[in-house]
Amino acid sequence: MPERDCDDKMEQRAAIERMFSAIAPRYDVLNRLLSAGRDRVWRREAVRAARLPADGRLLDVCTGTADMALEAARQYPGARIAGVDFSGAMIDLGRRKVLDAGRADRVVLSVGPAEALPFAEGIFDAATVAFGLRNVPDRRQALVEMHRVLRPGGRAVVLEFTTPPGRLFRQIYLWYFRRVLPLIGGWISGHRTAYAYLPASVGEFPSPDGVAAWLRDVGFREVSYRLMTFGIVAIHVGVRESL
Ligand SMILES: C[S@@+](CC[C@H](N)C(=O)[O-])C[C@H]1O[C@@H](n2cnc3c(N)ncnc32)[C@H](O)[C@@H]1O
């Protein structure tokens, strides 16, 4: 990569890390409020799509405050879950939630980058990322890393916002997403730019077909996706080829 592009990406990355650390204290409450509670259903379905074996191991990338990791611990009572995120503030809140939920024996969170996961090759049965990939400057590298840490036959699940296909719903939704959400999010979190960044980042993120193409490009097979809630979000699945 040319030096200039690399510097730009590092700066972008540092700015995104600062932004998530700043909104961390209000992150959960705003998720519930701004999605009218749907975020829990989306994560539940994404975790279900991981189809973890009873005693399996799951890695949640960009785990934030650990909602996906805790949902995985709930759905798969015999499984061990790891979560990783580059924001120490998010991880601190996540660790508190893991302790409060009494899951510290099975859910371990660590600070680290999605583009260089601090795990050995082929050790997870599933790897998930929810509302995280969009924020990673080098998205391809993050997918390469998820592929690397999965065992052959392991499943990657990507949950991400997308733009609803239906014309009428899309108009109403985009008005809410671009005009109302940044106001409420900015007001409650005290960080208006962070909640203006959300619709902007979704707007420039590829369509579900584009994300599916990325997954195939880094080596996943049996790639598919499903839209939820009129196409507000997409749940993508890819399987690492068996040996
Ligand atoms: C919108 S939040 C999603 C958090 C969580 N997955 C959820 O479902 O609520 C995005 C998270 O990705 C993390 N993140 C963004 N870029 C990252 C990167 N390059 N490496 C690791 N974490 C990253 C942020 O710190 C933040 O916690």
Digit-coded pLDDT (tens) for 10-25: 888 999 999 999 999 9
Q: Which atom of ligand 1 is nearest to the CA of 27?
A: 9
pLDDT at 2: 61
Q: Kindly state if the Cβ of 132 falls inside 6 Å of ligand 1.
A: yes
Distance 86 CA to ligand 1 centre (A): 7
Cβ neighbours of residue 100 closer than 8 Å, sequence gap 6 or more: none
State mean pLDDT over 205-214: 97
Per-residue pLDDT at 4 exceeds 70: no
Which pTM does this prediction carry? 0.95
- Percentage of the chain beyond pLDDT 70 is 98
Q: Kindly state if the Cβ of 198 falls inside 6 Å of ligand 1.
A: no
Question: Hey, whose CA ends up nearest to atom 27 of ligand 1?
Answer: 64
Residue range 223-233, pLDDT digits in tens? 999 999 999 99
Instruction: Work out the pLDDT band at 242, boundaries 50, 70, 90.
Output: confident
Distance 138 CA to ligand 1 centre (A): 13
Residue 40 CA to residue 32 CA, distance in Å, equals 8
Residue 59 CA to residue 107 CA, distance in Å, equals 10
State mean pLDDT over 172-195: 92
Question: Hey, whose CA ends up nearest to atom 25 of ligand 1?
Answer: 87
Residue range 29-39, pLDDT digits in tens? 999 999 999 99
State mean pLDDT over 145-150: 98
Q: Measured between alpha carbons, how far is residue 221 from residues 42, 86, 140, 159 in Å? A: 23, 28, 16, 17
Q: Are 125 and 58 in contact (CB under 8 A)?
A: yes
CA dihedral 168, 196, 204, 217 (to 10 degrees): -110
Average pLDDT, whole number, for the chain? 95
Instruction: Work out the pLDDT band at 236, boundaries 50, 70, 90.
Output: very high
State mean pLDDT over 54-78: 97
State mean pLDDT over 60-75: 98
pLDDT at 45: 98
Residue 139 CA to residue 236 CA, distance in Å, equals 15
Residue range 91-110, pLDDT digits in tens? 999 999 999 999 999 999 99
Q: Are strands 107-111 and 124-130 parallel, antiparallel or unpaired?
A: unpaired
pLDDT at 8: 81
Per-residue pLDDT at 220 exceeds 90: yes
Site to probe by mutation for ligand 1, drawn from 20, 97, 143 as the one with most ligand atoms within 8 Å of Cβ, is 20
